[in-house]
């Protein structure tokens, strides 16, 4: 192993954001990233910490991340959500993804969570195969449901529309 895994620090957020942009390119949605370095610093290290991030470092460069946050399941209790596990293209196949996932699983276990969950794009077969080899259950019969900022605004506007109230 020619890399190390550690807890992220504020100073890492510029490079973390770079990896987030790299992931957006890979997922064919390069303009979707709205978060800024300042947001990552505030949300990950501020008064109300919203996430925990691990970084993989090689020669003082952040080459991978795993970003998690707590959730709650009405069926299970406390769970951990893995928002993103990102390995820079040049480090894929090096064992870095496994090392990051190992840290996430150990972290979740130490927190006492009942489940660790995440999403994977249905066309990302290498990632699906990787997760299944690790024992993860890829639930292909579930669909991800989201309201983005515009959807939230539209939803709320429709609540106040007289013709929509019944």
Pairing between β-strand 61-73 and β-strand 77-87 as defined by DSSP bridges: antiparallel
C-alpha–C-alpha distance, residues 45 and 63, integer Å: 20
Residue 69: domain span: 4-164
67's tokens: 């970003």
Domain of residue 154, CATH code: 3.40.630.30
How many domains does the structure of the chain reveal? 1
Q: What is the CB neighbour count within 10 angstroms for residue 111?
A: 14
What are the average pLDDT values for consecutive 10-residue runs of the chain, which has 166 residues?
A: 94 98 95 97 96 97 98 97 96 95 98 97 94 95 92 92 62
What is the set of active-site residues?
Answer: 131
């Amino acid at each position: 192993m020619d890399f190390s895994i550690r807890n992220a620090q504020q100073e890492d957020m510029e490079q973390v954001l770079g990896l987030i942009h790299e992931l957006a390119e890979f997922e064919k949605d390069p303009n979707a990233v709205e978060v800024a370095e300042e947001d990552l610093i505030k949300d990950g290290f501020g008064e109300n910490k919203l996430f925990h991030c691990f970084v993989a470092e090689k020669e003082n460069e952040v080459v991978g991340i795993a970003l998690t946050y707590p959730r709650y399941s009405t069926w299970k209790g406390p769970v951990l959500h893995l928002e993103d596990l990102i390995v820079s293209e040049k480090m894929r196949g090096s064992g870095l993804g496994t090392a990051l996932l190992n840290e996430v699983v150990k972290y979740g276990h130490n927190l006492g969570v009942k489940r660790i969950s995440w999403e994977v794009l249905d066309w990302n077969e290498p990632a699906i195969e990787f997760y299944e080899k690790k024992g993860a259950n890829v639930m292909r019969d579930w669909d991800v449901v989201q309201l983005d900022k515009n959807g939230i605004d539209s939803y709320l506007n429709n609540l106040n529309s007289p013709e929509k109230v019944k």
